[in-house]
Structure 1
Amino acid sequence: MTLVHRALFTWFVLLVFLILLCLRLEPRSHWNWFIVFIPLWVFDTILIIYVMIKIITKWRNLTRLKELLIYYQWYIAGVLLKIAGQVMICLKLEYQHLELSIYVTMIPIWILLVSTIIYVFVILIKSKH
């Protein structure tokens, strides 16, 4: 898939999510919050499958596999943290009797943001040398 197709698909998924979010925020609808987040979870599943396919196609021998897993672990960890953040947000919104703190709810997102900053910093340092 080319970059333009990936970008268009990402925008389409975001558009569907925002439409579902607006429909859920209407006072007449009482959908489950997990249903509203389905487009994002489908997108995350496609991302994980895409990364796995990239690992399989680039894997030539066993020594290369370790390098590929180290390289792509950032992507897999990022998607998994995003999914965990979405689940926490859905739990907070859907089951208010759980009384989840907003700080506990946002822990996966904070970890994702910090790890993204570290990843970008490491890439910039490596590219400078």
Structure 2
Amino acid sequence: MLTTQAPEIARKGPEIKETMPDQRIENARQNFRIACALRGISMSEAARRAGLSRNALAQFSRGRGVLSLENALGLADVLDVPLPLIYRQDGITEGNIRLYRALERMPTHELGHALEAIKKASSGDH
């Protein structure tokens, strides 16, 4: 009995999928620039203070690279902005930063009351 074997399939490495850019990364690029402007420092100075090469941050801001989480944390620390806001569209404003910091300081048991007050105020029930 003759058996036929399937021909070997050449492996060419991992499949590369074409994907749309992640909007959060685009938001981070924009928001790091905004944060630098709010703090009155240049991107290269922020990079220096965070221990990044000026080139790495420039490449990131131009869309030609990514920042590691460690580097993003360092940059957010230097700019004194909450990292979660960096990835949100329109996340970096003085008001958003103040609100985030106030919520961070608020005891957990008071967060529910604050949320209810916000809901009530935004619904128009005064």
TM-score class normalised by the smaller sequence: under 0.3
Q: TM-score, normalised by structure 1?
A: 0.23
Larger C-alpha radius of gyration, 1 or 2? 2
Q: Which has the higher helix share?
A: 1
Q: TM-score, normalised by structure 2?
A: 0.23
- Considering Cα pairs closer than 8 Å and 6+ residues apart, tell me whether 1 or 2 has the greater RCO: 2
